[in-house]
Structure 1
Amino acid sequence: MPTPPYTLAEPRVSAALTRMFEAAARDDETVSRLRSDRPRDDRGTRTAQELADMAQEIYMPVSADGGRLLYNLVRATRPATVVEFGTSYGISTLHLAAAVRDNGTGRVVTTEMSRTKAAAARETFAATGLDDVITVLEGDALRTLAELTQPVDFLFLDGWKDLCLPVLRLLESHIAPGTLVVADDVDLPDLGPYLDHVRDTANGYHSVTFPVEDGLEISCRL
């Protein structure tokens, strides 16, 4: 019997994930350095683009277990179109794309505002051989995803937490009953309005928190 495909174990993919998780382990150190370099009188309100540019050295990844859970969910649901809000350096995207590749069908549409991160992610996707199933939309997700016309068959939200609810509302007309919507970092306060929305069945979702790292909220569209 032939060995079933498991792209996460493919050497190029495995090496890329190991490299990025090792880099992400230094995120706290990077954040501390960036804060110390920031002028003390810098208290102004920044645009989303400015915030993205400031965070271009920070990986902010899904956890390793969270990535494996995403892989399993996509393998099980076999979505034609996976949409991801927040590529960063592409750790979660690789898990989603590996599942799509192993399903033998579908593609991943992912969004990133940081030009530096988008460029690095594209290089990684090409190096791992998964670039043919990934489309990177660079820029403000509320603009780039507004142009999406196809159904969203799986949605992963891991960008700025205060934008998760606006992104969901933007895409809701494309989300059919039975579709899974997953959000990362349930412990972060800025995700509160999103969680209130999906945890209220009156809004058309049945939601459960999966206790992995900072928590994944898995919601099924009713």
Structure 2
Amino acid sequence: MINEDVRAYIRELLPPRDAVFLEMEREAREKIIPIVEPEVGHLLYWLALTKNSSRILEVGTAIGYSTLWLAKAVLPREGNITTMEINAPRAEAARKYFKKAGIIDQIELIFGDARELLYDLTGPYDFIFLDAAKGKYVEFLDKCIEMLEPGGILVAEDVFMKGMVISGEIDKRRNKTAVARLRTYLQMVMEHPKLETVVLPLGDGIAISTKK
């Protein structure tokens, strides 16, 4: 949904990325692992930096690419990041990259299903990054709001789902439910009495909410 010339220009403007980021990007391309785009990672870093975030929860680690972007903002201030991942090989890959980046002891990586793990947490968090199964965003919303401190930020990734949320053209039958639920999620965060929300056409769509 994003003009490729605009995407390429924004990406060219980004500061040079460390070698570990480039290695992760290569692995993601080769193994078709979904990670955020570099410009989205930079946005996460900027949000956490300007918010002075110190307690971050990430729902959906994958190989830890977005985690490292958040760590750039938080760990120099001795903040902490909790991240959870359901896929065992990806969780192991994330641990490998955290070790390479020298932050393995500063990241709490929880292996398991967020549908269970999320409800064992109490927070509070000042930043929550939601990048799990898209059909679960609605289910997780109330718990995320509960754990988010006033003034905290909730970021939901891939809310356009390859443009299907906007166009209504579903590529596979199994995606029909996820698209419907993403539309519901966006409507909910835009109308929720405890949230102020903006939706940005960056990457595959980003919804950024702040708790009143």
Q: If the TM-score is normalised by the length of the shorter chain, which range does it land in?
A: 0.7 to 0.9
1:1-222, aligned counterparts within 5 Å? Answer: 14-26=18-30, 57-102=31-76, 104-188=77-161, 189=165, 190=178, 191-202=182-193, 204-222=194-212
**Distance across 2 between alignment mates of 1:205 and 1:195:** 12
CA distance in 2, matches of 1:142, 1:152: 18
Letter in 1 for 2:51: T
RMSD: 1.8
Contact persistence 2:56–2:128 (CA under 8 A)? yes
Higher Cα radius of gyration: 1
Q: Is the 8 A contact 1:24 1:61 kept in 2?
A: yes
Contact kept, 8 Å, 1:157 with 1:182, in 2: the verdict is: yes
- How much does 1:58 deviate? 3.5
Aligned length: 180
1:20-52 Cα distance to aligned partner (Å, 9 max, x none): 2123234xxxxxxxxxxxxxxxxxxxxxxxxxx
The 8 Å contact of residues 186 and 217 in structure 1, kept in 2 or not, is answered as yes
Contact in 1 for aligned 2:21/2:65 (Cα 8 Å): yes
> What is the distance in 2 between the residues matched to 1:152 and 1:166?
18
Look up the equivalent residue of 2:102 and give its one-letter code.
G
Q: 1: CA distance between counterparts of 2:104 and 2:185?
A: 31
- Given that 2:126 and 2:148 are in contact with CA atoms closer than 8 Å, whether structure 1 keeps it comes out as yes
CA contact (8 A) 1:78 1:106 kept: no
Check conservation: 1:142, 1:170, Cα contact below 8 A: no
Amino acid of the residue matched to residue 21 of structure 2? L
Q: CA deviation at 1:216?
A: 1.1
In the alignment, structure 1 segments of 5+ residues that lack a partner are 1-7, 27-56
Kept after mapping to 2: 8 A contact 1:182/1:216: yes
**The residue matched to 2:159 in structure 1 has which SS?**
coil
Letter in 2 for 1:195: L
In the superposition, the TM-score normalised over structure 1's length comes to 0.75
Cα distance, 1:60 vs structure 2? 0.5
Which segments of 5 or more consecutive residues in structure 2 lack a partner in the other structure?
1-14, 166-177
Query: Is the Cα–Cα contact under 8 Å of residues 56 and 126 in structure 2 kept in the other structure?
Result: yes
Identity %: 34
CA shift at 1:137, angstroms?
Answer: 0.9
- TM-superposed deviation, 1:80: 2.5
Per-residue CA deviations over 1:42-82 (Å, capped at 9, x if unaligned) read xxxxxxxxxxxxxxx54211110000010011111122210
Return the offset for 1:15: 1.3
Q: Which amino acid aligns with 2:118?
A: L
SS at match of 2:61: coil
Q: Is the 8 A contact 2:59 2:129 kept in 1?
A: yes
Contact 1:107 1:134 in 2 (8 A): yes
The one-letter code of the counterpart of 2:184 is: P
Q: Please, which moves more after superposition, 127-136 or 64-73?
A: 127-136
